Amino acid sequence: MATTFSEGGCVCGAIRYRVRGEPTNSMICHCRTCRRVAASPVVAWVTFPMAQFQLLQGHPTEFHSSEPVRRAFCSICGTPLTYEHRDSVGFVDITTCSLDDPDSFPPTHHSWLSHDLMWVRFGDGLPTFQEWRRDSAA
Ligand SMILES: [Zn+2]
Ligand SMILES: [Zn+2]
């Protein structure tokens, strides 16, 4: 199988990255922290093993949105770029819409509906979860 690469970056072009292959997860997050960080009703994320993520250009600025979570953005234009959680070492979440082609990896579900805004209504028919999707019934 041929290895595919996808590229992305921030809106001003200072930061460029490349990912290899397919994401392990693709979802839309409705949590209040993503909402505030992006100043957007929801934020779509794709998850890749860190080994498949390569920064090509620029230096994202990082901050902790909570103690275990590190987020990165472009300090020039403000585009949110990545999310790393201490409990998911070796994986990085990337904002789907910072990809040059956000249609490459469509989301499979919505997470954190418990934080949703009253006026957010999706009609895509995808599964929704009050918090994180559990991959197996607990
Ligand atoms: Zn930028
Ligand atoms: Zn979130």
pLDDT along the chain (138 residues), means of 10: 90 98 97 97 98 98 96 98 95 98 97 95 94 64
For residue 93, which of 106, 80, 103 has the smallest C-alpha distance?
80
The predicted model scores a pTM of 0.94
Closest ligand to residue 59's CA: 1
What pLDDT is stored for residue 135 in this prediction? 58
For residue 115, which of 34, 27, 26 has the smallest C-alpha distance?
34
Q: Give the residue ranges of DSSP H helices in 11-85.
A: 32-38
Q: For residue 133, how far is its CA from the centre of ligand 1 (angstroms)?
A: 31
Closest ligand to residue 14's CA: 1
